[in-house]
Structure 1
Amino acid sequence: MSAGDWKDMYAAALAGDLPRVRHHILSGVDPDYQHPEVMCTPLVASLVQGHDAVAQFLLEHGASPHLRSEFDGLTPLQAARRHGRAQLAQQLAQRGAREAAPSWWRRWLGL
């Protein structure tokens, strides 16, 4: 596996492959990057797919609890609640996550 391979990390998040996600994050892959071909965050993808350990790892290693996944149209908190990830929804809320991105975040993104 090469360091910096965001697509491989995203595929690992979808599959629930924590060792592969860990490899990429510890190699410096940005957990908040949204590739133009995918437009989804690894955090939201792992929440939708039910991979709690991957989502937890991403949160502990810099994934934003506020970043809306463009393809899904979901914030991490929305994804957690919609897909029955109650414990992660609680953790996200404790980190200040909201159903919608904070107004400062929306302004920064031009929404």
Structure 2
Amino acid sequence: MSAGDWKEMYGAAASGNLELVQYHIKNGVNPNYQHPEIMSTALVASIIGGHSEISLFLLENGADPTLISEFDNLTPLQAAKMFKRQELVEILSKMIPKKSLWQKLSSIFKV
């Protein structure tokens, strides 16, 4: 078991507390975990909250840029576009191979 607390890290990502997010990542919290009560990721929460610095930190520390939020079926890139986070749209677009994103979306929507 890690010393970090995923729910606390998620809240920190959503509210803009970079120091607390860093603490939990350092203590082993998985940035890709989706808690059954919340069903989303800290990365999507930070994007929606407009906390680009946290989003970038999470991406640098293992957050999957193609992971789909179970709550709203949003990828981080879709969230960045929806909430007009242009800097993150550009960064995520470069990080995600087009083929990878297409494969993931087509498997969900049975395209």
Q: Name the TM tier (shorter chain).
A: 0.7 to 0.9
In structure 1, the residue matched to 2:72 is 72
User: Residue 4 of structure 1: CA displacement?
Assistant: 2.6
- Distance (Å, rounded) in 1 between the aligned partners of 2:83 and 2:6: 24
CA shift in 2, pair 1:39/1:90, >3 Å: same
- Distance (Å, rounded) in 2 between the aligned partners of 1:72 and 1:49: 15
Q: Runs in 1 of length 4+ with deviation above 3 angstroms?
A: 104-107
Q: Secondary structure at the match of 1:32?
A: coil
Is residue 48–residue 79 contact of structure 1 (8 Å, CA) maintained in 2?
A: yes
- Distance (Å, rounded) in 1 between the aligned partners of 2:37 and 2:72: 13
In structure 2, the residue matched to 1:61 is 61
- Distance (Å, rounded) in 2 between the aligned partners of 1:40 and 1:62: 16
Gaps of 5+ in 1: none
In structure 2, the residue matched to 1:52 is 52
TM-score for both structures, normalised by structure 1 = 0.86
Within a 5 Å distance, the mapping from 1:9-48 to structure 2 comes to 9-48=9-48
Task: State the superposition RMSD in angstroms.
Answer: 2.2
User: Residue 90 of structure 1: CA displacement?
Assistant: 0.6
Q: State the percentage of identical aligned residues.
A: 50
User: Residue 101 of structure 1: CA displacement?
Assistant: 4.2
TM-score for both structures, normalised by structure 2 = 0.86
In structure 2, the residue matched to 1:7 is 7
